[in-house]
Amino acid sequence: MRVIVIGAGIIGLSTAWYLRRLGAEATIIDPAPAQGASHAAAGMLAPAAEVVWGQSPLYPLMRASAKMYPDFAAEVASAAGADLGFTDAGTLVCAGDRADLQALRELRDAQSRSGFATELVTGSAARRIEPSLAPAVAGAVHIPGDWSIDPRRVSAALLSALSADAVSLVRQRVTELLKDGDATVGVRLADGRRMEADQVIVCAGIAVTEIAGSPELPIREVWGDVLRLRAPAEVAPLLTRVIRGLVNGRSVYLVPRPDGEIVLGASSREDGLSGTPAGAIHRLLADGQRLVPGILDAEITDITTRARPGSPDDLPMIGRIDSGCVVSTGYFRHGILLAPLGGRLGAELAVDAASDWPPDGTLQSVCPQRFTTADTTTHSARSFS
């Protein structure tokens, strides 16, 4: 089976990875591979820390994908001969002051009700775990089971492994889905070329709205600004695990890499501004130093601003649109964590692979038609049209 994958972010690359394991011939089309939202991502694989009030349908997806990650990462690393920066040091979710601590307690209650194992510790206990934390940190939730990974390394490894596995990469922009009646049969490129396939999988993030003939999905741009820092050699490593926190009610995170880099993020804006606002960078540094003062001695090595594709309920949209097209987008800030699940699900839907996977309820929760159809339970596992 010939399959075209539109988009070479973490979701498109993971989808192509699973397509090859299912025996399909894959072609990836993207003018700038791995340079979108995946390029900015910090790479926290943290289902418990990602718990947000009112998003309970997302938790089973995060759990299922997190369970897939060790094998997925090991296989990609082995195929590419690469180090993905995969670590299992855990997470501390910190409260900047006592008001933030109350919100943190309520969040921990939500985590516990959702079945996640966490531990509420005092500020002094948090500093014993991570000595670089500020004296003002009022308390923290310790999540020892969380992992993190370097998305830029993952994307590079996937590109390398897929190239070695005879997957073609076309550096062009898709402008249109080609149709034969109601069925998608291929794509038109910006240079005018037509490419035909048995199946097309649209993993184009927010760019799905720019492709003529693509499904009308309620995708919104959620912009984020991320800094990469490097602490002076004499204090490295400044951190040994992921630090997330609330500072005056605002979320902030610091993700250390094994090579000493620290990723500081992330603002969340829906203002349509594609540039990097000075105010966003100021707030990130101010909030970050409230938790870890030592970052102000670090060198800023990179500032990245990208738009994440969000859906109205912040769950991805994965499903069949017509007999020749599957869509996989809308991952919001969970694209890295959900890459194994989303990649496998998109690939299996495209080739109609018989499987007792995914977990019960997954297909209904991510059904693209859920925003226009009152009852999504009638959609079958292999056809959502």
Query: In the chain, what are the domain boundaries?
Result: 2-43+152-218+312-378, 91-144+221-310
Res. 53: pLDDT tops 80: no
- 24 with 40: CB under 8 angstroms? no
Closest CA to 10 of 162, 145, 146: 162
What pLDDT, in 10s, does the model give residues 75-101? Answer: 999 999 999 999 999 999 999 999 999
Closest CA to 365 of 9, 28, 56: 56
pLDDT band at 316 (very low <50, low <70, confident <90, very high): very high
Closest CA to 195 of 222, 225, 175, 215: 175
Q: What is the pLDDT of residue 382?
A: 37
Q: What is the pLDDT of residue 258?
A: 86
Q: What is the pLDDT of residue 381?
A: 35
pTM above 0.95, yes or no: no
| Overall average pLDDT of the 368-384 stretch | 53
Query: In the sheet that 194-196 helps form, which strands lie side by side, from edge to edge?
Result: 174-180, 183-189, 194-196
Q: What is the pLDDT of residue 278?
A: 96
| Topology of domain 91-144+221-310, CATH | D-Amino Acid Oxidase; Chain A, domain 2 (3.30.9)
What pLDDT, in 10s, does the model give residues 285-297? Answer: 999 999 999 999 9
Share above pLDDT 70 across residues of the chain, in percent, rounded to a whole number: 96
| Topology of domain 2-43+152-218+312-378, CATH | FAD/NAD(P)-binding domain (3.50.50)
| Overall average pLDDT of the 359-367 stretch | 89
